[in-house]
Structure 1
């Protein structure tokens, strides 16, 4: 395929990895990431850089989402039973769910002429999975692989709402639950199933 570099070979993976580690070296992952992005299998989500300084220093590196979590599951030969607790796909389920929700939000944002970003403080103490911004207003979305939501799950949304004031249009937690509702603190809870067509 013109313009697409070949993925590093297995020997390159070993050569660039530190022996005894359970994950590849950064140089190796960057090479794979670049190839997967060129094949449209990864979709970079830029870091949110709002105007003003009300949030302090923020992370600037993009976060890479799977363009199609279903395709990734197929390539890994993971069928539905493989995602059950204790099975080999279980550790990936939360990430796949996050990618699926982000992909769905991105498709709606394009139609609404909105931008999709993510928010993370460099210290890691504050983050929001998805930020949708349009015309100076923000919808902040947390993704939670669970049926229920508690106060701990909304703490970063409430923190962001306090700092943004009128620029904060809404805060939402997307779950695996069956009912949409609004919490007493004003944060919406939306099942991922409602993000579909």
Structure 2
């Protein structure tokens, strides 16, 4: 993206606030998600790695102290953990907020107690663009705020229909202008696999695991199902999965945890960082989704989660799902913000019925005091109350600004 044509990102506000509050801000996220573009707007000087790696390594302390702050180090992980120790030395001597911005595509193995910048830094996660951001509305009032005010239920009784074609439109800025983004997305996955060699992983197995996960999108299945389908063993799955998670390519939706409900599954829902990426790797197009409602349901759910993640991140909340063992009761998405809950079921159809509210009604009966809203998101155009306390709302409301 050209900075002159910059599309506001939801993370821009939190990022600007952190730069005014702490000496070092780390911007993590999947490769090609727009980290450099967003961070560059707030920096006064920049080191781009690997291009400037030799300069940085020649005398890290002298180079970094001579640059006008905030200093952006792009893809900092290519310089190794040593650069963080140099930054620690600098900010310990001068803890001025907004001294350094570090962008990285692969998290270090740990942000634990031995991490040099503990107590001196904060981090934000930049995800691929959601549709609201792609429409240029990333800095406008978001869906969660409109839901909290009740505006969602009164100002958008008839929204736009969320067509299945939207699912194959990637949130990676680099894929957007391509004639066939699937080629770009498959090449992206190949690059992820090839770069895994640096961490002593087999790129063929990494690629195979990504394809299996793309076919299991939004399914809560045991680890054994995954490693058998990928033709690898358990230890390899855990090693490769953790590597892909640190690269922000695999973003599972964890199971919600509570001691108030019994017999809840602990399996996460398998999800890749971008729904279009999952579809490209699985070889599924919009026509196949239209002809297979069950398949469409899984990927529509993944798409909705991807729309919500940046907003939930900015609100300091958490996303999860709930499923009882045996699958008798299921809530597709549980958003927890400061202990208050928003329960969401996602329907790929356009005409939800009261029956579609049954899982949310069950959940409200058991968690009523903590439920802020219960919503069935659907691909149709109408907003209305399905049953007492459960609303049907168009998926398009996630990016609508009116």
The interval holding the TM-score normalised by the smaller chain is 0.7 to 0.9
Q: Give the alignment of 1:107-122 within 5 angstroms.
A: 107-122=310-325
Aligned partners of 1:162 and 1:44: how far apart in 2? Answer: 27
Q: Name the structure with the higher helix share.
A: 2
Q: SS in structure 2 opposite 1:166?
A: helix
> Partner residue of 2:255?
47
TM (normalized to structure 2)?
A: 0.40
Q: Give the alignment of 1:152-191 within 5 angstroms.
A: 152-191=355-394
> Partner residue of 1:74?
280
Contact 1:138 1:170 in 2 (8 A): yes
Aligned partners of 1:178 and 1:36: how far apart in 2? Answer: 37
1:64 aligns with 2:260: no
Q: Name the structure with the higher strand share.
A: 1
> Partner residue of 1:3?
199
Which stretches in structure 2 are left out of the alignment for 5+ residues? 1-194, 210-225
Contact 2:353 2:386 in 1 (8 A): no
Match of 1:141 among 325, 339, 344: 344
Figure out how many residues of one structure are paired with residues of the other and give that number. 182
Aligned partners of 1:180 and 1:71: how far apart in 2? Answer: 30
Offset, 1:27: 6.7
> Partner residue of 1:20?
none
Q: SS in structure 2 opposite 1:165?
A: helix
Q: Give the alignment of 1:18-33 within 5 angstroms.
A: 25=228, 28=231, 31=237
Which stretches in structure 1 are left out of the alignment for 5+ residues? 14-22
Q: Structure 1 segments of 4 or more deviating over 6 A?
A: none
Aligned partners of 2:338 and 2:358: how far apart in 1? Answer: 25
**Bigger radius of gyration, 1 or 2?**
2
The 3 A distance-change label for structure 1 pair 43 and 184 is: same
Aligned partners of 2:391 and 2:204: how far apart in 1? Answer: 44
CA RMSD of aligned residues (A): 3.0
TM (normalized to structure 1)?
A: 0.77
Offset, 1:97: 0.6
